[in-house]
Structure 1
Amino acid sequence: MRLSHGFVPLLAVLIFLTSLPAGAVPGGIDPDPGPERSTRAEGDFGRSGAECRTSVEGAEAVTYCHNPYPAVYRVSLHIECVQWWDIDVDGSPVEVGPAGTVRLTGRCWEGIASVWVTEQRV
């Protein structure tokens, strides 16, 4: 069986999109995420937890997490790269003490599809 040349790329894209984990790209890729985005960690922490501000410029992401509360939190930066061959980033957890601020960075070779921060109370 011989496939037409227009069908093969369409089939490749379809296979790629169906192989992504659920929620990997919430709402699609935002080509212009703006200068800063505020993110919350997974889970419901109510009015506690570190507040993180993320900026994406090209293929580099920088996140500042500030903990205004008396508890200690561990935050970790996660980056999903645009290209399938580019290695995604799962940063090591970093502790943020009371009234402390940490800087987390990561990058991809070609571009960033999504960035999020997870946190855990210590």
Structure 2
Amino acid sequence: MRTTRRIASVLAAVTLLLWTSRTAVSQPRLRVYEADCRIAVEGSRATAFCHNPYPDTDRVRLHIECERWWDIDVDSAPAEIGPAGYAELTDRCWKEIRAVWVSHQPVRNSPGR
């Protein structure tokens, strides 16, 4: 009787393990393609040159962190770059720039697009 309960509990554990691993593997993964961006800084002005070689649209924003505490940091308006598209984003601080980066947000293309 004890052996039967042990076998049943082991079978239940193996079944649960196989079921959870199968559902985890069958979940499709979302592939994220981001536009290629190059950043140039000249003095207090920063420019991002972005090209999207992928079939999905990418929404990009330029972010600038200014060096001086009184200088307001900058976040550009978002720009959508379609397939094979190009965008140039530029902005500036009053004085020196501490950091510059570009953020990406994938845009889901609707079937009618």
TM-score with structure 1 setting the length? 0.61
Name the SS of the counterpart of 1:48 in structure 2. coil
- Output one character per residue of 1:33-75: Cα deviation in whole Å (capped at 9) or x when no partner: xxxxxxxxxxxx9772100000001100011110000000100
Q: Is the 8 A contact 2:32 2:106 kept in 1?
A: no
Partner of 2:71: 86
Name the SS of the counterpart of 1:98 in structure 2. coil
- Ranges in structure 1 where 5+ consecutive residues have no aligned partner: 1-44
Name the SS of the counterpart of 2:34 in structure 1. coil
- Output one character per residue of 1:4-59: Cα deviation in whole Å (capped at 9) or x when no partner: xxxxxxxxxxxxxxxxxxxxxxxxxxxxxxxxxxxxxxxxx977210000000110
Partner of 2:21: none
Partner of 1:119: 104
Partner of 2:84: 99
RMSD: 1.5
Name the SS of the counterpart of 2:95 in structure 1. coil
Number of residue pairs matched by the alignment: 78
Structure 1 runs, 4 residues or longer, greater than 2 Å off: 45-48
Partner of 1:48: 33
- Output one character per residue of 1:88-118: Cα deviation in whole Å (capped at 9) or x when no partner: 0011111000000000001001110000000
Partner of 2:42: 57
Name the amino acid aligned to 1:102: A
Partner of 1:14: none
Change (3 A) 1:85 1:79: same
Residue identity (%): 56
* Structure (1 or 2) with the larger CA radius of gyration: 2
Name the amino acid aligned to 1:52: C
Name the amino acid aligned to 1:106: D
Name the SS of the counterpart of 1:53 in structure 2. strand
